A = this chain, B = another copy of it.
Amino acid sequence: MTTLDATHNPTLRSWVESANVAGTDFPVQNLPFGRFRPAGTDEPFRIGVAIGDQVLDLKAAKVVDHADMNLLMAATPAERAALRTALSEGLQEGGAKQGDWEIALYPQAAVEMALPCRIGDYTDFYTGIHHATTVGKLFRPDQPLMPNYKWVPIGYHGRASSIGVSGQRFKRPQGQTKAPDADVPSFGPSKRLDYELELGFLIGRGNDLGAPIAIADAEQHLFGVTLLNDWSARDLQAWEYQPLGPFLAKNFASTLSPWIVTMEALAPFRAKFERPEGDPQPMPYLDSPANREQGALAITLEVWLQTAKMRDAGEPATRLTRGSTTQAAYWTAAQLVTHHTVNGCNLQPGDLLGSGTLSGPTLEEAGSLLEITLGGKQPMTLPNGETRTFLEDGDTLTLRGYCEREGAVRIGLGEVSGTVLPA
């Protein structure tokens, strides 16, 4: 588990003035990594660190000598700590690097972001117990959670090729669906297109095939956290998913935020990880004192919607829900890493583990429209009078995340947004 050091000092300020503004996602205590290039060019993407409303070009700042994020992510914990310290010291008010690094800054408004790394394999988990319970109730009122849910961190493989960075615009998927009262399926655009509010954990150092990662070591293999929208076509999924799981209902698009907030940056925002009274304790391979003491992450997550009509009228997005990951996840990121590898499966730098939909215990904290509208039965009314059961063409959906705690400086995960185009 990462510990607090000088880089977390809440009194630190940066010579980049926008990093000291209250409410910024990217104060000098954050220092997330992303890949960028000057907007409107076709230059190769390079590694940058977000600071206030600027990006520091790590190669121009002579901090790294390459542009390969996956290589950077494969660093040892000691190398990562050293890099973070160097960035913190260089960007601090009064730091000796100001003269050299000022010319390596780009305004975020003037850059294009890529996916933060090459994602070899993408695994999506199902740690949101309130989501699993609410969705399960729609299908199985008597037994919302499967018997394995509190024992096995349920997960499945997702599609890496269709993951895009924030700003992704994708066509509404077409496919087979079958109405409950129909004899045969029909074909057409999905009528129940939804979002899913997730965290995306990115792997740093990998493991060899056949060499599981023990729970005590799992955090060392996590590089950082992003926001992930796991778009879902509920009607395609209902017809296709038996017996091998979701497929075309998910793989038409998934959208990731551009900045990886490191596990080091999240150190002040760890929380106890406790099982509800009466629930089974995790099996020994998924249990450790450190995981119990501070395995959870305290991140606040928000979902915002801007419809085409709102955009045309110049109206801002409206917030649909807000909740906390501490309330939502039944398994920690470390448990996901250990479970994923316990059979010998190898993880590689840049692999993505989705948390699953992180809904809180109430509908005000729900992470999908399926939950908010009770399976599409209860439309939601927006401030401009429009209603939604599921997403409509032209809708832009944005996820935001941030961490706040007494005695620490607020840090943010930035945002991930995506827009639905007609089929």
Report A219 CB to chain B, min CB distance, Å: 21
Q: Which residues of B contact A340 (CB under 8 A)?
A: 248
Interface set, chain A 234-248, CB cutoff 8 A to B: 236, 239-248
**CB-CB under 8 A for A157 and B154, given A146-B242, A239-B148:** no
**What's the Cα separation between A242 and B147 when bound, in Å?**
9
A179 within 8 A of B: no
Interface set, chain A 383-406, CB cutoff 8 A to B: none
- Are A251's CB and B148's CB within 8 A? no
Report A372 CB to chain B, min CB distance, Å: 21
A158 and chain B: residue at smallest CB distance:
B157
- Are B244's CB and A155's CB within 8 A? yes
Report A106 CB to chain B, min CB distance, Å: 27
Q: Which residues of B contact A151 (CB under 8 A)?
A: 176, 178, 184-185
A211 and chain B: residue at smallest CB distance:
B171
Q: Helix, strand, loop or mixed for chain A's interface?
A: loop
A280 within 8 A of B: yes
Q: Which residues of B contact A212 (CB under 8 A)?
A: 174
- Are B174's CB and A342's CB within 8 A? yes
**What's the Cα separation between A176 and B242 when bound, in Å?**
22
Report A36 CB to chain B, min CB distance, Å: 21
Chain A residues engaging chain B, CB cutoff 8 angstroms: 120-121, 123, 126, 146, 148, 151-152, 154-162, 164, 170-171, 173-176, 178, 184-185, 187, 209-210, 212, 233, 236, 239-248, 251-253, 280, 283-285, 339-340, 342-348, 351, 421
A-B contact pairs, 14 of them (CB 8 A): A121-B160, A126-B244, A146-B242, A151-B178, A152-B239, A160-B160, A161-B209, A161-B345, A173-B344, A209-B253, A243-B245, A245-B245, A252-B345, A253-B344
